[in-house]
């Protein structure tokens, strides 16, 4: 059985955002993308309706990319 983790809104946001000018944020974005590519399959990932609402806000095109990243993840009650 895989360990379970909760994916909050920062993760899909970092995955689709343009690289930040802030070096710390850019490093976090890169690390998040590397983790997602290499290790996300090692976990049973869950989201909540709150996360869905949060990532659906803002620019419609970017919001659609965030939604695509979490598509298919089980939603907690």
Span 14-67, pLDDT tens digits: 999 999 999 999 999 999 999 999 999 999 999 999 999 999 999 999 999 999
Q: Is the pLDDT of residue 77 over 90?
A: no
Reduced to 3 states (helix: H, G, I; strand: E, B; else coil), residue 4 is strand
Q: How many CA atoms, within 13 angstroms, populate the side-chain half-sphere of residue 65?
A: 12
Q: CA 22: distance to chain centroid?
A: 19
- Predicted local distance difference test score (pLDDT) of residue 10: 96
End-to-end C-alpha distance for the chain, whole angstroms: 21
Q: Does residue 14 contact residue 29 with C-beta atoms inside 8 Å?
A: yes
Planar angle of CA 40, 35, 37, nearest 5 degrees: 65
Rounded to two decimals, what is the model's pTM?
Answer: 0.89
């Amino acid at each position: 059985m895989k360990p379970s983790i909760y994916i909050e809104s920062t993760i899909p946001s970092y995955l689709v955002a343009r690289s930040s000018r802030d070096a710390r944020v850019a490093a976090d974005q890169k690390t998040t993308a590397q983790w997602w590519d290499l290790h996300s399959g090692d976990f049973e990932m869950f989201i909540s309706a709150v996360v869905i609402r949060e990532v659906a806000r803002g620019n419609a095109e970017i919001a659609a990319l965030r939604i695509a990243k979490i598509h298919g993840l089980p939603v907690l009650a």
